[in-house]
Chain A
Amino acid sequence: MKLVKEKKIIQYAAVFVIVTFAYLMWRLISPAETTGFRVAMGILVGLAGITDLVLLKKKQLTTDRLVASIMFAGLVMRIGYMLYTPGAVRSHDMWEFEKDGYGHAGYILTLIEDKMLPQTNTRQYYQQPFYYILSALVSAPINSFLGGHDNELIVDTGKIISGVASCIVLLMTDSFCKEAGLKDKYRAAAVGFVAFCPAFYLSERITPDMLCTLLMTIALIYTLRWYRSPDWKNTIILAFTYGLGVMTKLSIGSLAMFTAGVFVWKFVEAVKEKKFGSYIPKFIVFGMISLPLGLWYSVRNYKRFDQPFGYVLEIPKDHSLYTGDHSFFQRIILPDLPNFVTEPYAEVFEDYNLWTYMVKSSLFGEFKFEVPAIVPVGLMIAAIALTIPAVTGVVKGAFKLKENKEQFLMSAAVLVFMASIVYFYIKYPNGCSMDFRYMTFIVAPAAVLAGKYCAENGKKWIGTLYLAAVPVYALFSTLMYTMIK
Chain B
Amino acid sequence: MTPVFIYTIISCALFWGIYSYRDRHNSVKGYSLAELVPFYVLIRLIPLFMMQDRSTSNYIALISDAAVLAAVCFSASGMSRSKSIAAAVYLFCPLPVICMTVGGTKMIIINIAVTAAALIWIGALSSKYPLASPSVFIGAYAMISTGIHLAAYSLFAQKHSFSELFSKEYFPTFLVAGILCIAAGLVLFFVRMRNYGKQTVKEGKEEASEPSLAYTPEKFGKKNIIHMILITVAYAVVVFFQLGSHEAPETSRKFNSNDPDNAEIIIDLGEYKTVTDLQIFLGPESLRKISVSAYDEVEREWKVIKEEEELKTAFAWNRVGVSWSVRYIGIVFSREDTHFNEIIILGENDEVITPVNTAEYAELFDEQDKFPGSEATYYYRMMFDEIYHGRTGYEFIHNLPIYENTHPPLGKTLIGLGIRLFGMNPFGWRFTVAVFGTIMVPLMYLFAWKISHRSGTALTGGVLLATECMHFTLSRIATIDIIVAHFIVMMFFFMYCFVEEMNRNGKLSKQLLWIFLSGISMALACATKWTGAYAAAGIAVLFFTFLIKHCASKKTFKESVPYLVKLCIACVVAFIVIPGLTYVLSYIEFAQVYTDKNILQHAIDNSKSMYSYHSNVTDSHPYQSEWYEWLTDKKPLLDAINSFPDDKVSSVATFMNPFIAFAGLAAFFHNVFLWRTRKSTSAQYLSIAYLAMLMPWLFVHRTVFIYQYFGCLLVMILLICNSIRSMSSNIRKKECIVMAVSTIVFFMFLPEASGIAVPRTYIKHVLELVPTWIFE
Contacts and interface: CB of A to CB of B under 8 A. Distances in A.
Contact of B176 (A326, A343, A381): A381
Interface in A295-344: 325-330, 333, 340-344
Given A372-B165, A373-B166, A373-B168, A329 B766 contact: yes
A325 B776 CA distance: 12
Which residue, of A333, A376, A381, A382, has the highest number of chain B Cβ atoms within 10 A?
A381
B171 A327 contact: no
Which residue, of A327, A333, A371, A372, has the highest number of chain B Cβ atoms within 10 A?
A327
Given A326-B771, A327-B769, A340 B173 contact: yes
A485 to B, nearest CB: 13
Nearest to A376: B171
Contacts of A13: none
Interface string A348-387: 0000000000000000000000111110111011100000
A374 B176 contact: yes
B128 interface: no
Interface string B155-175: 000000000111110111110
Contacts of B177: 377, 381
B67 interface: no
A419 interface: no
Nearest to A378: B176
B771 A373 contact: no
Contacts of B176: 373-374, 377-378, 381
A374 B173 contact: no
B171 A343 contact: yes
A55 interface: no
A376 B168 CA distance: 10
B186 to A, nearest CB: 12
A377 B173 contact: yes
Contacts of B164: 373
Given A381-B177, A381-B180, A374 B166 contact: yes
Nearest to B170: A373
B208 interface: no
Given A326-B771, A330-B769, A330-B770, A370 B168 contact: yes
B165 A373 contact: yes
B187 interface: yes
Interface in B647-668: none
Nearest to B183: A472
Contacts of A371: 168
B184 interface: yes
Nearest to B658: A329
Contacts of A370: 168
B764 interface: yes
Given A327-B767, A327-B769, A342 B168 contact: no
A468 interface: yes
Nearest to A333: B769
A377 B173 CA distance: 6
A341 B173 contact: yes
Contact of B172 (A330, A373, A380): A373
B768 interface: yes
Interface in B489-514: none
Contact of B165 (A329, A341, A374): A374
Nearest to B176: A377
A377 B764 contact: no
Contact of B180 (A325, A344, A373, A378): A378
A381 B166 CA distance: 16
Interface in B139-169: 164-168
Contact of B769 (A329, A381, A472): A329
A382 B767 CA distance: 33
Given A328-B766, A330-B768, A377 B172 contact: yes
Interface in B177-192: 177, 179-180, 184, 187
Nearest to A328: B765
A405 to B, nearest CB: 29
A129 to B, nearest CB: 38
Nearest to B191: A464
A141 B613 CA distance: 84
A97 B771 CA distance: 41
Nearest to B139: A461
A85 to B, nearest CB: 19
Given A325-B764, A327-B764, A472-B180, A377 B769 contact: no
B120 to A, nearest CB: 29
B315 to A, nearest CB: 35
B573 to A, nearest CB: 52
Nearest to A377: B176
Contact of A327 (B167, B184, B766): B766
A344 B170 CA distance: 10
B768 A372 contact: no
Contacts of A468: 184, 187
A363 B767 CA distance: 32
Interface of B: 164-168, 170-174, 176-177, 179-180, 184, 187, 764-771
Given A327-B764, A333-B769, A374-B166, 8 more contacts: A327-B766, A327-B769, A330-B770, A342-B173, A372-B165, A373-B164, A374-B179, A378-B176
5 closest residue pairs by CB, A with B: A372-B166, A377-B176, A374-B165, A329-B769, A327-B768
30 contacts: A326-B768, A327-B765, A327-B766, A328-B765, A328-B766, A329-B766, A329-B768, A329-B769, A329-B770, A330-B768, A340-B173, A344-B173, A372-B165, A372-B166, A372-B167, A372-B168, A373-B164, A373-B166, A373-B167, A373-B168, A373-B176, A374-B165, A374-B166, A374-B176, A377-B172, A378-B180, A380-B173, A381-B173, A381-B180, A382-B180
